[in-house]
Each structure stands twice: as C-alpha cells, then as structure tokens.
Amino acid sequence: MINSLCIIGVGLIGGSLARALRATGYCKEVVGGGRDPQHLQQAVDLGVIDRFDTDLAAAVAGADMVLVAVPLGAMQTVFEKIRDHLEDNAVLTDAGSAKGSVIEAAQRVFGSVPAWFVPGHPIAGTENSGVSASLPDLYHDRRVILTPMENTDVSAVSRVRRMWEAAGAKVTEMDSIHHDAVLAATSHLPHVLAFTLVNSLGRTGDREELFAYAAGGFRDFTRIASSDPVMWRDICLANGDAILLRIDQFIEDLQALRRSVQEEDGERLLDLFESAKQVRDAFIEK
C-alpha cells in the first residue's frame, strides 16, 4: 500500500497509473506535479489525481512514493527540483523509455545513484498522449521492466514492483544496458521507421493522392508516427548508440532485400517473406 503517491508528469503514462491505483484503492492519495496548472487541473477534474502543485518541492512533500513520468530530457531538471525535498522514507522511480540516461541524470544530481531510486519502464502506451488519453487498464497484463543497480535497496524495488502489480502489470528486472538494447530493437527502431516512412511519403508532391489510396495496413503501420515528438526526440538523444546499431542492421537487411528485388530473385524474396511471416505469426500466438 502507498500512503501518498506523487506523480510528476500527469500524462498518458502517469495518469494511467494514477487511475489504476485509485480504482483499486492501492494508494490513499495521488498528488500531481508539473509545470502547467491548467493541465493539472484537468487531471483533477477527470478524477485522475486528488490535488496538484506546480512547485515540485511542495508536490513531493509527504509522498512515500514518487514517480517521475516526464520526457527523458526533463528528468534531470525534475531530479534537481525535488532533490532536497523528498521524505526520508520516499522511494523514487521513473517511467523513462531508456534507462541509461536516467541513471546518469540521477548520478549527476544526487552525487551517486541513491539506493532508494528504482529505474523503471512500463512497456505500454498508445499513440495518444496527455492525461485525457489515460486509461485505468493501460497496464493490465503489460510488462514493466525495473533496472535496479547493485546498490539499490531491495525493499525499494519491492515497493515499486508491488505498485505496478497493483495496476495489473507483470514486472520483470534486467540490467539497464540490456533494457536499452532490447527497447532500441522492439520499440525505438519501429518508431524511427514509422516517422521516416511518413516523412518519406509526405515530402513527395502527390502526398494528398498517396494518402487517398492508402489502406488499413498503412494506417496500422504508421500509427506510431502519431506519437509525441518531444518524447521521441528525447529517446533518440538518450538511447542514441543502441538505436544507431539497430538502424545500421536494418539498413543492411533492407539493402539485401533491395538486391533481391533488383536481381528479380524470387526464391530469395519468398524465403525472406516466409521467414518474416513465420516469426511474426509466432510472436502473435504468444
């Protein structure tokens, strides 16, 4: 159980956790922190949080659990603002899509990574953003990855784990570097490709006509290109090395397929498409 949960950044991710935990009664109070009072008032009006404070020092006062759910580029500033105001018994966690950069930001602000800081990442979301898009069941049966350090307090990890489990999530732990490599492959690369595809088509003169003849496959394929640009800029800056590796591997594979098209190598093309279908169908069965 959480007494007072402070969520800094009440958007899709933070708002959905607040909704889930309020619905189950897992926390007595949810306090929102952030920059925009109108946005936070909307979160109160929607019943997502109990109250808010735009002064983050005041927002974390009394909180035994603090979740920072802001874009990666804003993590360090938030850590700086709350550093001297966290309660003695407070556990700090975050929801960043890359973990190495958040750990580095914590190290810079706190001197060393505090034992009561548990880096975390809920693998959930939609292409929509903002508190109005938040859903109480967003985390139901979804994965949350925690990336504790060697010195992280075991009971702090346990408290964060139980919070996400109370929201319906399946929690696993892994090394932060491994997390960043896995997510570069399964999330960051696909987003980069979707953004690039839309731009690539968008910059042709006949854009309107192109989109008029796009079918459902195109809509699904490009859904993630409607995701929040600031969030994705920050992810590309925070996890650049892992993303570059995946982009390079993808270009290599695309060049190989390109050669098969150019050489009209039907056998090779069939092989490629069959293996992709097999892998993808197997993924969906799970």
Site for its own copies in 163-222 (CB under 8 A): 182-183, 185-187, 189-204, 206-207, 209-222
Out of 29, 46, 73, 153, the residue judged to bind its own copies by CB under 8 A: 73
Residue pair 86/110 in contact by the 8 Å Cβ criterion = no
Give me the helix-helix angle, 154-166 and 12-24, nearest 10°.
80
In angstroms, what is the minimal distance from the CB of 68 to its own copies? Answer: 20
Does residue 126 bind its own copies (CB under 8 A)?
yes
In angstroms, what is the minimal distance from the CB of 43 to its own copies? Answer: 23
- Closer CB to its own copies, residue 162 or residue 268? 268
DSSP string, 193-230: HHHHHHHHHHTSTTHHHHHHT--HHHHHHHGGGGS-HH
- Closer CB to its own copies, residue 78 or residue 124? 124
Binders of its own copies among residues 133 to 162 (CB under 8 A) are: 142-143, 145
The stretch among 18-26, 37-45, 111-119, 258-266 that binds its own copies (CB under 8 A) is: 258-266
Beta strands 2-8 and 65-68 are parallel
Does residue 277 bind its own copies (CB under 8 A)?
yes
- From residue 102, alpha-carbon distances to 120, 181, 227, 250 in Å are 10, 15, 21, 27
- Closer CB to its own copies, residue 52 or residue 195? 195
In angstroms, what is the minimal distance from the CB of 121 to its own copies? Answer: 9
Residue pair 93/119 in contact by the 8 Å Cβ criterion = yes
Residue pair 210/201 in contact by the 8 Å Cβ criterion = yes
Does residue 245 bind its own copies (CB under 8 A)?
no
In angstroms, what is the minimal distance from the CB of 71 to its own copies? Answer: 11
The stretch among 34-42, 61-69, 161-169, 254-262 that binds its own copies (CB under 8 A) is: 254-262
Tokens of 156: 């702090």
CA distance 215 to 220: 9
